[in-house]
Structure 1
Amino acid sequence: MATSPIWASRAKTRGLVLDVIRAAHASSRVELAAATGLTSATISEVVRELMNDGLVVEAGTGASRGGKPRTLVQLNPAARYSVGVQLERNTCVVVVVDLVGRQVARTSFHGPAVLPPDQALPQVAAQVEALLAATAVDRAKVLGVGLVGYGPQDRRTGTLLTPQPTEAWLNYPIAGRLAEILGLPVLLDNDAAAAAIGEYWLGAVDPTSTYGCIYMATGIGGSVVVAGEVYRGTSSNSVEIGHISIDVNGDECTCGNVGCLENYAGPSAVVRRAIAIPGLVQRLALDPTGGDFLTEFARIAAAANAGEPAARSLIEQSARYLGHAAVTMSTLFDVDTIVLAGPSFTVAGSIYQAVIQHEIDRRTFARRAHPVRVVPSINGSDAAANGGAVLVLQNELKLSANLTGQTP
């Protein structure tokens, strides 16, 4: 029998078995024993406990391998739920997902982050409550809320370390305050990290792989996942590719660096260039005085898809800059896949994918050793919100005592 310290904690053992079942979608007890290194007796006991708790259900039988067909077990989707909240500068998305990470409800509303946090967070909480009520989800089955947004941030204290969009948000205890209003645990995380782990949870990537995520909403973020774990760095503010310098002589960024990628490839940069092109504002019905860069960017992206030459040129220029960042990500972390996630990839994602793949194929350092695929997120524009909810599930799966009500 395995002697690793992980087996010393019953909760961790249950969490391990749950995660193996989740990854396999359905698994027999024999397969669980082989995958975990636990004895058949231990697996049978743990599976029985999980079934008694309602977390696991039987799912028919697998193909016969010469003996009695093996009974399969799978997660019970309705056993637990979590909430994901993506707080963007101009919009907020709220989702509810079940135990397997499938979205069961969604809503969005405009502009909470332009308000002071003391006014914005009660609005967010009201939307969460309304969505849970509309779906008739048992509140006792809700594990918590994954609150995701831009960085830098302090995950440990649940605070934002940026004065964006206003000074009132700097060092504000955003996670603790939302938890207080809702009466639910709240986990703060980076939108790119959340989007990346959502791909892993839903089986869109090889669970043993090292892959990257480029996340683009109003700004640009990045994340790297290694065998199902987000690479965190010292303070969980890692892989911020939007703030790598691509021009040492460039303008100073609000982050303190100069020549940041976000100021060349991000939606706001694309919109500013579009406004400067004679006649394009009128042709695309852009609002040069507005601050909703996501909406204006989506109009440019739609025009690019429709073949408008100036719009197409702007999107391809942005994509080439992002290709530069993707090459840097690949060179630093030796990834095998790069996922493009976030609302700004929704309209013109095919253009970005083709241009970034071209840059990767011709410039990546390890291109002769292995290919690097550039793929769209399976979660689309809701990648960060879905991923935030999944981070809660992942966290609770590892601490299975919290999920089942038992103590280690």
Structure 2
Amino acid sequence: MSNTHAQDGRTHLPLQDRIPSSKAREIFRRIRQKHEISKNDLLTKSGLTVSTLTRVLEELSAAGLIEESGFGASTGGRRPILYRTRASYGYCFGLDISRTTSRLAIVDSAGQKIDSISWTMTEHMTPSALIDYVVEQIQLWIAKYRIPHEQCIGLGIGAVGTLDRFTGIIENPQWFYAPGWNDVPIGAELEHRLRIPVLLDNGANTAIIAESWSNRTKGVRHMLYVHAGVGLRSAMMADGKLIHGATDMEGSLGQMIIQADGIPHRTPGGNYGCLDSYATIYAIEREAISKLRTGRPSRLQSVIHLGEAVTFRHVIEALHQQDTLATEIVSQAATYFGIGLANLLNVLHPEKVILGGPLMTSNDLFFYTATQTAIRRTYHYPSYQVVFSKGNYGEEAIAIGAALLVLDNLTSRQEA
């Protein structure tokens, strides 16, 4: 998915060819990591000679990738010139493909969000339907913001797995409401339709890219991201680098066994007593239906219309009304989630944990119950301290991170 062609017939350069010099890629990467940075700091950190750095900065400026942003504080001599990424160099699109809601965002080359839109993933949202919506919206944005094709840097996709990020194929995801989501060549199809480079990765990975970007000046090196919704997804950064396994393990967190003789998994081959069966939207809905069938009184009976099945939305609505049963069900799921989270902390020891997804954003009860449970079960607490957060991007983290994935690839080393 690297060599694409523009709509006017011109070849669209692969992402890494936009900055052909390895020294220029390294300097641009350093500038991107700061809001602004002085030439002296770049000289110290890069190890380049003054003449080489000057030439590289001129190369990046001439290409429109960076710009001067003023002068820094003087340390006794001339005030140093500051450099920053030039926001108008180009634009990247980021697509979040999730089971309940999918989202598209556009960011500029400085990583600032310009616009976003979301779609509910109903039983009618097949791959072809979503692709049509995405293509149409990107074309509308290109017209609205008057973006020349050469300034469309690329599209990143953060998707539910399993997937193959090298071939751009969503392989075998589970629990979509619409049919047709197996073996979808999403990358090739969108490259063909849009004529820009397309990159695919796990949605949890793109979310942690976004949250790492928002923390880039704070020195956070080891970060864990967990997305809790219809399923459970996780990603990890160690020493500032995203960890990829030998294969896409998008749903592996949900298979963590927390009760060996527990509930059977909802799909064949799943583990008995795994976290997915206790701490997901599915688990909450199953528990609510079970409790109502035993005659438990609840406001759920008043928020469900005649003939409707109990859904997560109904549980949250009852929770907002301080319903005892809804509070009990959500607290129980959050406690199980916290146990699974403690297991991750005891193995990975991140500095910061970002918790995202519908279970975290719909109500504070789940977040606080889960984090307090995890803290009480974390080994070496309180000497080992971890920061929990819902993140800076919230529901847009996957889409924003997918767009940032494209920008990151401008400075990636080309694989042999």
Superposition TM-score tier, normalisation by shorter sequence: 0.7 to 0.9
Q: How does 1:292-303 map to 2 (within 5 A)?
A: 296-301=311-316, 303=318
Distance in 2 between the 1:27 and 1:237 partners?
Answer: 37
Distance in 1 between the 2:57 and 2:270 partners?
Answer: 52
Distance in 1 between the 2:132 and 2:251 partners?
Answer: 31
Alignment pair present for 1:284 and 2:303: yes
Distance in 2 between the 1:343 and 1:138 partners?
Answer: 36
Distance in 2 between the 1:151 and 1:78 partners?
Answer: 33
Seen in structure 2, the aligned counterparts of structure 1 residues 396 and 302 have a Cα distance that, compared at 3 Å, is farther
Corresponding residue for residue 43 of structure 1: 53
Seen in structure 2, the aligned counterparts of structure 1 residues 121 and 10 have a Cα distance that, compared at 3 Å, is closer
What TM-score do you get using the length of structure 2 for normalisation? Answer: 0.85
Corresponding residue for residue 339 of structure 2: 324
Corresponding residue for residue 85 of structure 2: 75
Find the residue that maps to 2:29 and give its secondary structure: helix
Alignment pair present for 1:392 and 2:406: yes
- How much does 1:329 deviate? 1.4
Distance in 1 between the 2:217 and 2:244 partners?
Answer: 19
- How much does 1:386 deviate? 0.9
Find the residue that maps to 1:323 and give its secondary structure: helix
Determine if contact 1:214/1:223 at 8 Å carries over to the other structure. Answer: yes
Q: How does 1:239-254 map to 2 (within 5 A)?
A: 240-249=252-261, 250-254=263-267
Which of 217, 233, 252 is the equivalent residue of 2:245?
A: 233
Corresponding residue for residue 34 of structure 1: 44
- How much does 1:112 deviate? 6.5
Corresponding residue for residue 112 of structure 2: 102
Corresponding residue for residue 231 of structure 2: 219
What TM-score do you get using the length of structure 1 for normalisation? Answer: 0.86
Distance in 1 between the 2:155 and 2:122 partners?
Answer: 17
Distance in 1 between the 2:92 and 2:268 partners?
Answer: 32
- How much does 1:310 deviate? 2.2
Seen in structure 2, the aligned counterparts of structure 1 residues 245 and 206 have a Cα distance that, compared at 3 Å, is farther
Over residues 95-142 of structure 1, what are the superposed CA-to-partner deviations in whole Å (9 max), with x where a residue is unaligned? 101112221011112337744434442233223322333333333212
Could you tell which deviates more after superposition, 116-125 or 99-108? 116-125
Alignment pair present for 1:148 and 2:165: no
Over residues 206-263 of structure 1, what are the superposed CA-to-partner deviations in whole Å (9 max), with x where a residue is unaligned? 4451110011233220000123321101124268312322232331343722133222
Determine if contact 2:160/2:173 at 8 Å carries over to the other structure. Answer: no
- How much does 1:286 deviate? 6.7
Unaligned runs of 5+ in 1: 1-8, 401-408
Determine if contact 1:298/1:344 at 8 Å carries over to the other structure. Answer: no
- How much does 1:365 deviate? 2.2
- Residue 276 of structure 2 aligns with an amino acid whose one-letter code is E
Determine if contact 1:30/1:40 at 8 Å carries over to the other structure. Answer: no
Over residues 11-61 of structure 1, what are the superposed CA-to-partner deviations in whole Å (9 max), with x where a residue is unaligned? 332222122112221100110122222223222221111111111111111
- How much does 1:168 deviate? 2.8
Distance in 2 between the 1:70 and 1:57 partners?
Answer: 14
- Residue 219 of structure 1 aligns with an amino acid whose one-letter code is G
Determine if contact 1:55/1:79 at 8 Å carries over to the other structure. Answer: yes
Distance in 2 between the 1:132 and 1:218 partners?
Answer: 33
Find the residue that maps to 2:64 and give its secondary structure: coil
- How much does 1:323 deviate? 1.0
Which of 351, 358, 364 is the equivalent residue of 1:336?
A: 351
- Residue 317 of structure 1 aligns with an amino acid whose one-letter code is Q
Q: Which has a greater percent of helix? A: 1
Over residues 175-217 of structure 1, what are the superposed CA-to-partner deviations in whole Å (9 max), with x where a residue is unaligned? 1112212212211111111111101112267445111001123
Could you tell which deviates more after superposition, 12-21 or 117-126? 117-126
Q: How does 1:250-289 map to 2 (within 5 A)?
A: 250-254=263-267, 256-258=269-271, 259-276=273-290, 277=292, 278=296, 279-285=298-304, 289=308
Seen in structure 2, the aligned counterparts of structure 1 residues 202 and 133 have a Cα distance that, compared at 3 Å, is farther
Corresponding residue for residue 205 of structure 2: 193
- Residue 195 of structure 2 aligns with an amino acid whose one-letter code is G
- How much does 1:325 deviate? 1.9
- Residue 300 of structure 1 aligns with an amino acid whose one-letter code is V
Seen in structure 2, the aligned counterparts of structure 1 residues 204 and 115 have a Cα distance that, compared at 3 Å, is same
Corresponding residue for residue 358 of structure 1: 372
Alignment pair present for 1:52 and 2:62: yes
Determine if contact 2:162/2:249 at 8 Å carries over to the other structure. Answer: yes
Determine if contact 1:200/1:206 at 8 Å carries over to the other structure. Answer: no
Corresponding residue for residue 66 of structure 1: 76
How many residue pairs get matched? 387
Corresponding residue for residue 329 of structure 2: 314
Corresponding residue for residue 209 of structure 1: 221
Find the residue that maps to 2:33 and give its secondary structure: helix
Distance in 1 between the 2:370 and 2:300 partners?
Answer: 27
- How much does 1:298 deviate? 4.4
- How much does 1:361 deviate? 2.3
- Residue 321 of structure 1 aligns with an amino acid whose one-letter code is Y
Determine if contact 2:226/2:356 at 8 Å carries over to the other structure. Answer: yes
- How much does 1:390 deviate? 1.0
Find the residue that maps to 1:67 and give its secondary structure: coil
- How much does 1:399 deviate? 5.3
Aligned-pair identity (%): 26
Corresponding residue for residue 132 of structure 2: 122
Find the residue that maps to 1:54 and give its secondary structure: coil
- In the TM superposition, structure 1's runs of 4+ consecutive aligned residues that sit over 6 Å from their partners are none
